[in-house]
Structure 1
Amino acid sequence: MLIWGWRTQARTLAMITFLCARCRNPSAHSFQEVIKKFTLFFAPLFTISTRHRLVCSWCGAETTVPSTDVTNLLGQAHAQSMYPGGIPQPRPAVPDTPWPRMP
């Protein structure tokens, strides 16, 4: 008697802030890698499939991410982690006139 099947594991790669397509809230999305492995006697042997998804932390909506966009999303997550408030913008030029003095 053989006991075989598959096991699915989801691993969170990053947290990215997006505007959710379903609930329209700007919320954190969990960027996950979902791996399905073939098991024999409950021991995982080899990977059957790998896919990526975004899960909204507000409403739980799942969005499948194409494999071509994975590196772009990881780069965006890295940029958001370095600059939590967003990527800094250059400051406007300061005028050369002194501040008005109060009497």
Structure 2
Amino acid sequence: MIIFGTKGYLYQLAILTLVCGHCRNPAAHTLRKRVTKFTLFFVPLFPVSTKYMTQCAFCGAEQKVSREQAEQLRAQAVAGPPYGQGDTLDARR
């Protein structure tokens, strides 16, 4: 008897502040990657599909994004906000 199937893995790539397309509020959005892998005897072997999405922390709405958009958003999150936005200054300086 051969046991096979699929298993999903969810990776959180970044957290960004964006304006939600559903509720129109500027809120934190989680950039996620869902990978579905083929399994044989409960051992994941290779990816079957990969999907990227953002989820609004305010209303919970999810929006699918392409791989290119996900890479741009992740690069934006790594770069951080522009100087003066979200930065805190230390009074001891």
2:31–2:70 CA contact under 8 A, matched in 1: no
Larger radius of gyration: 1
Higher relative contact order (CA 8 A, sep 6+): 2
1:50 corresponds to which residue?
Answer: 50
Deviation at 1:25, TM superposition (A): 1.5
Report the AA paired with residue 53 of structure 1.
M
Residue 88 of structure 1 and its aligned partner are, at CA, apart by: 2.0
Residue matched to 1:76: 76
Runs of 4+ deviating beyond 4 Å: none
Are 1:28 and 2:28 counterparts?
yes
Percent identity over the alignment is 40
Name the structure with the higher strand share: 2
Q: Once the 2 structures are TM-superposed, how far is the Cα of residue 79 of structure 1 from its aligned partner?
A: 2.5
Paired positions, count? 84
Q: Which amino acid aligns with 2:56?
A: C
Residue segments in structure 2 that go unaligned for 5+ positions in a row: 85-93
- Whole-Å Cα distance in 2 between the matches of residues 79 and 20 of structure 1? 21
* Alignment RMSD (CA, Å): 1.3
Contact 2:35-2:49 within 8 A present in 1 as well: yes
5 Å-filtered alignment, 1:5-20, equals: 5-20=5-20
2:89 matched to which residue of 1? none
Aligned residue type for 2:82: I
